[in-house]
Amino acid sequence: MNTPSTDRTDLRAPRWRGHTEAARVSAILRKEAVGGALLVIAAVAAIVWANSPASDSYFALRDFRVGYEPWHLELSLGAWAADGLLAIFFFLVGLELKRELVVGDLRRFSTAVVPVTAAIGGVAVPALIYVAVVRGQDGLAQGWAIPTATDIAFAVAVLALVGSHLPSPLRIFLLTLAVVDDLIAIGIIAVFYTEDIAVVPLAVAVAVVALYGFIAQRYRSLFAGRPFAAWLVLLPIGFVAWAFLHASGVHATIAGVALAFTIPVKAARGATDGPRAADLAHEFEHRFRPLSAGFAVPVFAFFAAGVAVGGTDGILRAATDPVALGIVAGLVLGKPIGILLAVRALTLVTKIRLHPALRWVDLLGVALLAGIGFTVSLLIAELSFPAGSTEGDDAKIAIMIASVLAALIASGILIARNRRYRRIVAEETVDEDADGTPDIYQEAPAPTSPHQG
């Protein structure tokens, strides 16, 4: 997840050049467009390598196993990326979600109801479209959740590139929609993609998460004031919780969300200044976002997107595969239809209305952006079909095609809208008489009557 946040910049000059460079790189990686670009570059590199003469080396690297088997942690590098690195991404999703629920837009019904309703519609309709397309095909319906996801990093990156003058409520709508969409995706993974649960490891994981939360709450001033304390204390505890959840059979990325939900958002009771007044969730989001955007998500995309297309025959096969057709239809058509229908139904049966600054065509552009499934869709595809299966490969091809189509169509609409809003801003800033007040806000002089004077 690559959502924006207000950075608290330390204005003091770093004492050594290495720190300066690290701070500069971290600041770059926090930019939405940069995270989205790295995601695309990693995916393209994987596709090119997987379809090159050296493709065997790509799959050998992806399937190379490393870890400690007695702890059930001897995994392939691809599995480490999907189960381990992506937990960092979901940790940030959890932080953002908790902040929205506690102090953000989701705590107020009036502002949350529209994007929440949109997210529900944007999950239900794509799933129904996929099921309708694959109906009657044995074993394909299990991929119903693939087109329900929205890649917040990719979608927000596109919006940042094309929407410099779009209304800020539109951006807030997309962010809230994507956060709720991620929450639904987390629930789907936990409920529908967990087969056998080992009770003892699960109980231990819950206990370790509780310990993690107690330490984070009790010693928040330590972690707010000393960045490396979190790495030295909380990271090992978090890894233990992740390992036990992985051993329990529940998808291990859920550990990231569970751990994030224990991080304090509000200041400690009675604290108005100093480290105890810090928003630790904001601090952690600020520190860990470069790791997620610059490493965890691109590496996952690199190992997940590498599919041997198989030349023209493979492309033709994928183009006629019900799985691929269902995913493309679900993401490109189902997402915007579901979002717009849900919001329209809400405005018809209740007194809830869109923000005055928004128009339905603006909402259409953002609804199309929500069809960029990518990261979470790739993860659900890996959980839905066996590794290396034709259905799994076609699903990944379809996810990438659908995400590119959704991004291109949405960009066309949003660029046109951005031009319109740019013209409005230009008109509102004209000050020909240089009196400091834009001409549009000055009253026009009353017309002079011909009978006067």
Asked whether residue 304 carries a pLDDT value surpassing 50, the answer given is yes
Model confidence at 440: pLDDT above 80: no
Residue 342's pLDDT band (cuts 50, 70, 90): very high
The pLDDT value given to residue 442: 59
Q: Give the CA dihedral 310, 316, 154, 191, nearest 10 degrees.
A: -90
User: Of 16-25, 151-160, 396-405, 431-440, which range is least confident?
Assistant: 16-25
Task: List the beta bridge partners of residue 75.
Answer: 66
- What pLDDT was estimated at residue 274? 55
Q: What is the pLDDT of residue 433?
A: 59
Overall average pLDDT of the 188-195 stretch: 84
Q: In the prediction, which pLDDT does 2 show?
A: 45
Is the model's pTM score more than 0.85?
no
Average pLDDT of span 247-276: 77
Residue 447 has what pLDDT? Answer: 55
Q: Given a cut of 60, is residue 452 above it in pLDDT?
A: no
In the block, tokens 């004031």 appear at 225
What number is the average pLDDT over the span 392-419?
A: 92
What would the DSSP string read from start to end of 14-81? Answer: PSSHHHHHHHHHHHHHTSHHHHHHHHHHHHHHHHHHHTSTTHHHHHHHHH-EES-GGGT--EEHHHII
| Predicted pLDDT of residue 431 | 57
The number of CA neighbours under 13 Å toward the Cβ of 319 is 7
Over residues 343-362, the pLDDT tens digits come to 999 999 988 888 888 889 99
Check residue 348 and give its pLDDT.
Answer: 92
Place 331 in a pLDDT band, splitting at 50, 70 and 90: very high
